[in-house]
C-alpha cells in the first residue's frame, strides 16, 4: 500500500512495545508455574527449559499476533467497498530476506544446542536405554539408589537390589538422594511416568531403560503409565512419596519384613526378565 | 409455495431426518443407561459376605464359551451369575470366598504370589491360613489395586481327576476354596482384575478375557 506511511516501522514498534511488556510477564509470572514443578532437580531443570522456550517463543508469537492485528485494523476493506484488487507484488527485498534467514536460523540452532547441552548434562529425567551417556555428575562419586521399576498389565512394582532384592507394590524414595530407575516390563510396552519428579521412561519387555532423578524434600508424586497398554491402562496409576532419609530407612525395613515370603520366590535380580510363556497362554 | 411433488419430497425428507434423529437418540440413550449387571454382597450375622467362583471356561451358552471367567455365586455355590461388578458397603469388613475350579497357570511376576491388603496379611486356602503360595501353582489373582488388595488363587493340580469343564461347576468337581477378609474404602468405583495372563489361546495369555471387562476383571462398586 503506497500511502506514504511506513507500516513496517509501525508494526515493528508495536511488536517491540508488546514484547518488552509481555515477555517479562510471561517469563517471571507464568513460567514458574509450568509443569512439572520443582519436585526434583531434574523437574526444576525442565521448568527452566520450558521457561527458556517460552521466553523465546513469546516474541515470535507476538510478531504473528501484532502483524495479523495490524493488517486487520489498517488494511481492512472500508465503506464504500471498491473493487477487490491484488496489492503490488513484493519481490527481491534482500534485507528482509537476509534478516529472516539469520534470525530464524540463529534461533533454531540455539535451541538445538541448548536442548542438547541440557539433555546431556543429566539426562533430564528421561529414559536413556541400558547404557546411559548422560548420568548426573554425582553418580560417579556417590552411587545412586537403584530402584528397578517392573511394569506389567496393569501395575508397577518396585525392586530394590541394594536391600535384599525386596520388591514392593508402592514407591517411596528418600529425600535429597540421587536415584537410578531401571525400568523394564514383563509383558507389553508401558511407560513409567513419575510426573512431579520429571521422570518418564518407557518400560519395554527385555530392556533395561535407565533414568536418573535427584529428589528434593518430602513430596507426594503421581505415577502413571504413559503408553496405551490395554483395557486397564487408564487405571495403571499409583501415588509415590519422597520422605526423609530416616523415614525411608524405616519404610524399607518394613517392606523387607512384610514381603519376606514373596522375596523368597522372586527370580534372581536381573536387568530384565524373560518369564516363560504361561502354560495357559503358551 | 411448493408444488405437489416438491411438497412430498419435503415431507419425506423431514420424516427421514426425524426418524434418523430418533434412532440416534435411542441408541445414545440405551448406551448411556445400559449398565452391566452386578451382584451385591450379602449381609449376614457374621458380616458382609461375597462369594465368587473362577472357572476354566464360561457356560456353553456364553458368547465366549471357551473363555476363562469369574462368576458371582451364593454361599452354596449355586445361582451362578455371570457378572463382574460387585456391590459392597463402604468402610466395611468384607468376607470373600472364592471357589476356584481352574487349573494352574503360573505367575509372570512371583511377587504377587503373596497376599496383600487382607486383614492379617493372609488368607485361607482350603481352611489353612497362609500368606503366599508357590508362584507356579497360581491359577488367578483377585486384586483391587486401589485398595491394595491382592490374593493369589491356587489352581487345581494337573493331576486332578474330576475337573469342571464349563460353568456352572458343582462343588463335587475338583476345586480349591480361598477365603479372606478385607476392608472397603470410601464410596466410589474401584476396578478389580486378575493379574495372571490366563487367556487360553492368546499370545502369552494376554488377550480375550484379560482384555474384556466381564470375565477376568470388573468393578467394585462401593456404596
pLDDT score of B78: 76
Across the range B129-137, mean pLDDT stands at 94
- CATH fold label, A137-265: Immunoglobulin-like (2.60.40)
pLDDT score of A217: 87
- Interface touch B105/A231, C-beta < 8 Å: no
Across the range B43-47, mean pLDDT stands at 84
pLDDT at B205 over 90: no
Cell numbers placing B216: 477376568
- The interface predicted TM-score of the complex, written ipTM, equals 0.83
pLDDT score of B10: 93
| Among chain A residues, CA nearest to B112 | A262
Instruction: Output the DSSP codes for chain A.
Output: --SS--HHHHHHHHHHHHHHHHHHHIIIIIGGG-TT-SSBHHHHHHHHHHHHHHHHHHHHHHHHHHHHHHHHHHSS--SSP------------HHHHHHHHHHHHHHHHHHHHHHHHHHHHHGGGB---SS-S---GGGGTSPPEEEEEEEETTEEEEEETTTTTEEESS-EEETT-EEEEEEEESSS-EEEEEGGGTEEEEE-BT--EEEEEEB-SSEEEEEEE-S--STTGGG-EEEEEEE-HHHHHHHHHHHHHHTHHHHHHSPPP-SS--PPPPTTT-
A178-185: strand order across its sheet: A166-168, A155-160, A145-152, A178-185, A209-214
| Among chain B residues, CA nearest to A230 | B211
| Among chain A residues, CA nearest to B155 | A280
pLDDT score of A96: 85
Q: Per residue in A66-89, pLDDT tens?
A: 999 999 999 887 777 677 777 777
Q: Which candidate in A259, A276, A278, A282 is best for mutational testing of the B interface (most B CBs within 10 A)?
A: A278
- Interface touch A262/B203, C-beta < 8 Å: no
% of chain A beyond a pLDDT of 70:
96
% of chain A beyond a pLDDT of 90:
77
Across the range B184-192, mean pLDDT stands at 94
- Interface touch A261/B206, C-beta < 8 Å: no
Across the range B157-185, mean pLDDT stands at 93
pLDDT score of A137: 82
Position A281 confidence tier, pLDDT thresholds 50, 70, 90 = low
Q: Which candidate in B69, B84, B114, B193 is best for mutational testing of the A interface (most A CBs within 10 A)?
A: B114
pLDDT at B1 over 60: no
- Interface touch B109/A275, C-beta < 8 Å: yes
Instruction: Find chain A residues with C-beta within 8 A of B198's C-beta.
Output: 278, 280-281
pLDDT at B6 over 50: yes
Instruction: State the pairing for strand pair A199-203/A166-168.
Output: unpaired
Q: Per residue in A127-160, pLDDT tens?
A: 999 999 888 888 888 899 999 999 999 999 999 9
Instruction: Find chain B residues with C-beta within 8 A of A278's C-beta.
Output: 105-106, 108, 196-198, 204-205
Q: Per residue in A15-71, pLDDT tens?
A: 999 999 999 999 999 998 888 999 999 999 999 999 999 999 999 999 999 999 999
Q: Which candidate in A230, A266, A280, A282 is best for mutational testing of the B interface (most B CBs within 10 A)?
A: A280
pLDDT score of A278: 62
Q: Could you state, in order of their start, the residue ranges of all structural domains in chain A? A: 1-76, 137-265
Ranking A84-93, B135-144, B163-172 by mean pLDDT, the lowest is A84-93
State the nearest Cα–Cα gap between B150 and chain A, in angstroms: 10
Across the range B144-151, mean pLDDT stands at 94
Query: Helix or strand or coil: residue B94?
Result: strand
Across the range B86-93, mean pLDDT stands at 94
pLDDT at B75 over 80: no
pLDDT score of A141: 84
State the nearest Cα–Cα gap between B71 and chain A, in angstroms: 20
Position A103 confidence tier, pLDDT thresholds 50, 70, 90 = very high
Position A101 confidence tier, pLDDT thresholds 50, 70, 90 = very high
Position B77 confidence tier, pLDDT thresholds 50, 70, 90 = low
Average pLDDT, chain A: 91
pLDDT at A282 over 50: no
pLDDT at B2 over 70: no
Amino acid at each position: 500500500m503506497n500511502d506514504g506511511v511506513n507500516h513496517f516501522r509501525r508494526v515493528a514498534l508495536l511488536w517491540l512495545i508488546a514484547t518488552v511488556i509481555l515477555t517479562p510477564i510471561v517469563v517471571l509470572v507464568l513460567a514458574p508455574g509450568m509443569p512439572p514443578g520443582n519436585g526434583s532437580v531434574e523437574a526444576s531443570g525442565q521448568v527452566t527449559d520450558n521457561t527458556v522456550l517460552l521466553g523465546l517463543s513469546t516474541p515470535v508469537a507476538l510478531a504473528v499476533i501484532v502483524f495479523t492485528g495490524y493488517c486487520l485494523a489498517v488494511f481492512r476493506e472500508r465503506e464504500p467497498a471498491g473493487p477487490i484488487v491484488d496489492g503490488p507484488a513484493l519481490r527481491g527485498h534482500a534485507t528482509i530476506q537476509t534478516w529472516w534467514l539469520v534470525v530464524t536460523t540463529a534461533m533454531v540452532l540455539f535451541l538445538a544446542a541448548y536442548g542438547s547441552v541440557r539433555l546431556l548434562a543429566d539426562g533430564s529425567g528421561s529414559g536413556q536405554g541400558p547404557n546411559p551417556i548422560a548420568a548426573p555428575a554425582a553418580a560417579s562419586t556417590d552411587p545412586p539408589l537403584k530402584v528397578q521399576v517392573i511394569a506389567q498389565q496393569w501395575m508397577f512394582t518396585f525392586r530394590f537390589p541394594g536391600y535384599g532384592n525386596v520388591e514392593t507394590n508402592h514407591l517411596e524414595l528418600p529425600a535429597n538422594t540421587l536415584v537410578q530407575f531401571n525400568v523394564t516390563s514383563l509383558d507389553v510396552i508401558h511407560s513409567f511416568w513419575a510426573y512431579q519428579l520429571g521422570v518418564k521412561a518407557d518400560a519395554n519387555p527385555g530392556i533395561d531403560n535407565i533414568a536418573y532423578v535427584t529428589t528434593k524434600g518430602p513430596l507426594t508424586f503421581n505415577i502413571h503409565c504413559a503408553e496405551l497398554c490395554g483395557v486397564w491402562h487408564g487405571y495403571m496409576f499409583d501415588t509415590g512419596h519422597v520422605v526423609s532419609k530416616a523415614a525411608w530407612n524405616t519404610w524399607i525395613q518394613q517392606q523387607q519384613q512384610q514381603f519376606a515370603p514373596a522375596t523368597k520366590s522372586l527370580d534372581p535380580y536381573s536387568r530384565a526378565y524373560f518369564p516363560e510363556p504361561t502354560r495357559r497362554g503358551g | 409455495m411448493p408444488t405437489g411433488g416438491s411438497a412430498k419430497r419435503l415431507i419425506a425428507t423431514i420424516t427421514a431426518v426425524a426418524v434418523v434423529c430418533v434412532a440416534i437418540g435411542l441408541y445414545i440413550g440405551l448406551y448411556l443407561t445400559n449398565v452391566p449387571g452386578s451382584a451385591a454382597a450379602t449381609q449376614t450375622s457374621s458380616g458382609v459376605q461375597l462369594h465368587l467362583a473362577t472357572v476354566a471356561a464360561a457356560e456353553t451358552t456364553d458368547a465366549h464359551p471357551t473363555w476363562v471367567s469369574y462368576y458371582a455365586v451364593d454361599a452354596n455355590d449355586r445361582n451362578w451369575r455371570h457378572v463382574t461388578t460387585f456391590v459392597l458397603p463402604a468402610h466395611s469388613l468384607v468376607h470373600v470366598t472364592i471357589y476356584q475350579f481352574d487349573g494352574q497357570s503360573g505367575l509372570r511376576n512371583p511377587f504377587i504370589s503373596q497376599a496383600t491388603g487382607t486383614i492379617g496379611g493372609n488368607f485361607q486356602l482350603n481352611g489353612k491360613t497362609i500368606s503366599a503360595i508357590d508362584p507356579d501353582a497360581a491359577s488367578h489373582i483377585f486384586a483391587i489395586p486401589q485398595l491394595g488388595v491382592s490374593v493369589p488363587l491356587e489352581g487345581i493340580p494337573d493331576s486332578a481327576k474330576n475337573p469342571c469343564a464349563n460353568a456352572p461347576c458343582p462343588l463335587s468337581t475338583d476345586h480349591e476354596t480361598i477365603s479372606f477378609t478385607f476392608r472397603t474404602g470410601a464410596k466410589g468405583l474401584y476396578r478389580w482384575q486378575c493379574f495372571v495372563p490366563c487367556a487360553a489361546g492368546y499370545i502369552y495369555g494376554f488377550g480375550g478375557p484379560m482384555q474384556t471387562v466381564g470375565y477376568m476383571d470388573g468393578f467394585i462398586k462401593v456404596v
